[in-house]
Every structure is written in structure tokens, then in C-alpha cells.
């Protein structure tokens, strides 16, 4: 988000939501808003920025929630698009990269709260390896951080 904001030359406000899925295993796409936006978006041109779009369920829920607040416009920007996993089609106006069906960490993306500080996006082939306490150091080293 910080990198994106620095690349935008028109005046903008940046606001954050914190959400989590209900984690009931039903993959319903119903999310819990842990922290809502601080400011009203009514009448504003809004770009919803997502780290990664996977099934599209989270984004669909968020778009419905934010549309109800009557912004002047609402577009989606996604850094990573795992389109092979899509369950619901979502309109991505600004897209960074298509990626294969692989779990990714780093550059803001976490696994159980860790690894957001990796400077690169890393694909994880061995999920069990993420529990290795030395992995972060080795990954940072190989990413040239």
C-alpha cells in the first residue's frame, strides 16, 4: 500500500479496513469487519486495494458492503491474482501480477501473522517449512534483503 500510494500523483486519502473470515470452513465469503474505515466514502471515488485475490469471495463481500455506502465510484486494485482458484468473478480494474495456484508470503502477505516483512513475494511449496524458526532469516537472505 505504501509503494502504491507513493506511485499515485493526484491527491488521495488512504484508509484501512481489517477483516477476517469467519473461519467456519464453509468458505461462505462472509467476513467479519475487525476494524472499519475511519472516514465516510459517500460521494468519493474509491479504489479498494487488495493484496491477493484468490476465490474472490472476500472481495465480493467487501464490494457489496462498500457499495451500500454510496461512493461516487468503486474500483478494485489487486497486487496478485490467483485466477485459477476463482469461485466468484470479480472486476479487477488495476492488476499487478497473475500468479499460479501456490500459497505466497512476503511483501505484506502473512502466514499466521508472520513473514509480512519479507521484501519479496515468495511461493511456498512446503507449508510445513514455514514452522521452521530459521526460515525467515534464510528467506530474507535468498531474497537479497
For the chain, what is the radius of gyration of the CA atoms? 16
- Tell me if residue 101 is catalytic: no
Question: For residues 145 and 143, what is the distance between their CA atoms, to the nearest angstrom?
Answer: 6
Tell me the closest approach of the beta carbon of residue 45 to ligand 5GP, in angstroms. Answer: 22
Contact between 51 and ligand 5GP by CB under 6 A: the answer reads yes
For 46, phi then psi, to 5°, come to -120, 135
Judged by beta carbon, residue 15 or residue 110, the one nearer ligand 5GP is 110
**Helix, strand, coil in percent for the chain, rounding step 5:** 25, 30, 50
Interface stretch with ligand 5GP, choices 34-42, 52-60, 69-77, 125-133 (CB under 6 A) = 52-60
Residues lying near ligand 5GP in the complex (CB under 6 A) = 50-59, 103-105, 109-111
Amino acid at each position: 500500500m505504501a509503494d502504491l500510494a507513493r506511485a499515485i500523483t493526484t491527491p488521495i486519502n488512504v484508509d484501512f479496513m481489517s477483516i477476517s473470515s469467519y473461519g467456519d470452513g464453509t468458505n461462505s465469503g462472509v467476513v467479519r469487519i475487525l476494524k472499519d474505515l475511519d472516514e465516510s466514502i459517500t460521494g468519493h471515488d474509491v479504489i479498494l486495494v487488495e493484496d491477493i485475490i484468490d476465490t474472490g469471495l472476500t472481495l465480493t463481500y467487501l464490494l457489496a458492503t462498500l457499495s451500500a455506502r454510496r461512493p461516487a465510484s468503486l474500483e478494485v486494485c489487486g497486487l496478485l491474482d490467483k485466477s485459477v482458484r476463482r469461485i466468484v468473478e470479480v472486476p479487477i480494474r488495476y492488476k499487478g501480477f497473475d500468479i499460479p495456484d501456490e500459497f505466497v508470503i512476503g511483501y505484506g502477505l502473512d502466514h499466521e501473522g508472520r513473514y509480512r516483512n519479507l521484501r519479496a513475494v515468495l511461493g511456498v511449496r512446503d507449508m510445513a517449512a514455514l514452522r521452521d524458526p530459521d526460515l525467515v532469516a534464510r528467506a530474507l537472505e535468498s531474497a537479497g534483503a
